[in-house]
Amino acid sequence: MKSPTNNNKLTRRHFIKKSLFGTGILINTGKYFQIKGKKLVSKEIDMKYRILGKSGLKVSEIGLGRLETQGENVLSYAFDRGINYIDMPAEYIKGEEGRMLKLKNRRDKVIIASKIITTHNSTKQETMKLIENVLKRIQTDYIDIIMIYNVGTIIRKHGVTKHIERLKNEDVIEAVNQAKKDGKVRAFGISTHGGDFKDYINYAIDSGHFDMIMLKYNFMAFPEEKELLKKAKQNNVGSVAIKVVGGAYDQKIKGYEKSRTPEFRRAAIKWVLSNPNITNLVIRMPTFEEVDNCIRALDEKYGYNDRILLEKYASSVKPYYCRWCSTCTQACPYDVSIPDIQRYLMYFTNFEYKEEAVEKYADLLPEQKADCCFNCNAPCENKCLNNIPIKEILTEAHEILSIKTL
């Protein structure tokens, strides 16, 4: 198999084992930490804001993807730079008491989004309890945005085996509306990674029950995503983009390592925000340098050099990056969850969310795992629009993600 960067023989296993971009050494300099040998940008760039649909919430165009900053002060620094939106799935918050305090001290200025995992038959009482658990975990009296989590993905341990029916559950809708009346929730939405996201998003928009949607949207997007965003805006439904850097392979592609990574991330951000139908995006910003670089994108226009950079990246990752169109699953004789498994492997190798990736793979139904791929003739590869070596990737994923402990 050919590498996406040269003509030499290079397996994906070797490709993904290239070192990740370092984040620098942190030293305490008072109010914030500094990155040794680097200065924070001195130019003040005004944060820009957009209204999140009918929720009326004024959100920063760039939001924090999750709480994984290197020290509490990076969080404070991001807020001081004008970022006011933070995505906080309650199940990912582990040992974050210090950062919760940082949020509590700024609670009236920070918009917190979180998620609950409901099923097609969750009761009103069960849903209310899920909301209360989020409030307790995040240590707040109210949550700005509650989303039904990851519609379209099987979550076995929570009994989630149906998809769009989760959005049609009247008990869940009634519970969230009650929480709104009680002042515990301000907006209601959905998040989805699934390749069949169109059905879920169309329903969320048409039903009138949801204030916002969260979906994968980047420079390798399909036309359907752009049309859905346009429809959402026309119906006053807010939209939040995730996965904006297309897998974060930039740290492993020749010509992108280290020095090119900041330029690539800014180009990806500018591409997303150039769409007037998108409300905002969330992205990982674990260091001061990352916060500054992402905000710098707001002061730049998307242009020719950005387009060339993103096109080069898209061409390079085409043999590896799953677009989640789900055409491959239609040809699978075993019902393997092909897009999800590729995403979990990406979590493990590119983002180093190793524990999370292993847990998510373990949570798949037995028939959805990739152990059956070893002796399969891979008819899925004939359906893949990007000629991805699915069998190689899935068998590797099974070997890596099947480990019991890390």
- Whether residues 397 and 349 share a domain: the answer is yes
304 within a domain of the structure (yes/no)? yes
- Whether residues 260 and 375 share a domain: the answer is no
DSSP per-residue string spanning 278-336:
--EEEE---SHHHHHHHHHGGGS---HHHHHHHHHHHHHHTTT------TGGGG-TT--
Pairing state between β 185-192 and 143-148: parallel
User: What is the tally of structural domains in the chain?
Assistant: 2
Give 97's contacts (C-beta < 8 A, 6+ positions apart): 139
367 within a domain of the structure (yes/no)? yes
Specify the DSSP class assigned to residue 20.
P
Neighbours of 365 (CB within 10 A): 11
Q: Any bridge partners for residue 117, and if so which?
A: none
Neighbours of 337 (CB within 10 A): 22
Range of the structural domain that residue 375 is part of:
322-401
Q: What is the pLDDT along the chain (406 residues), one digit of tens a residue?
A: 333 433 333 444 443 343 323 333 333 333 443 443 444 444 678 899 999 999 999 999 999 986 655 555 888 899 999 999 999 876 655 555 446 656 777 888 999 999 999 999 999 999 999 999 999 888 889 999 999 998 876 676 677 767 789 999 999 999 999 999 999 999 999 998 766 788 899 999 999 999 999 999 999 887 889 999 999 999 999 999 999 998 888 777 777 766 568 999 999 999 999 999 999 999 988 888 999 999 999 999 999 999 999 999 998 888 888 887 778 888 999 989 898 899 899 889 887 788 889 988 998 888 889 999 999 999 999 999 888 999 999 999 999 999 765 5
- Whether residues 233 and 159 share a domain: the answer is yes
This model's pTM is above 0.85: no
**C-alpha atoms less than 13 angstroms from C-alpha of 370 in its C-beta half-sphere:** 26
3-state secondary structure of 169: coil
21 within a domain of the structure (yes/no)? no
Instruction: Locate all alpha helices (DSSP H) within 67-161, ordered by sequence.
Output: 72-80, 97-105, 124-138
Cα–Cα nearest to 67, from 105, 93, 102: 93
- Whether residues 308 and 330 share a domain: the answer is no
- Whether residues 306 and 205 share a domain: the answer is yes
Specify the DSSP class assigned to residue 9.
B
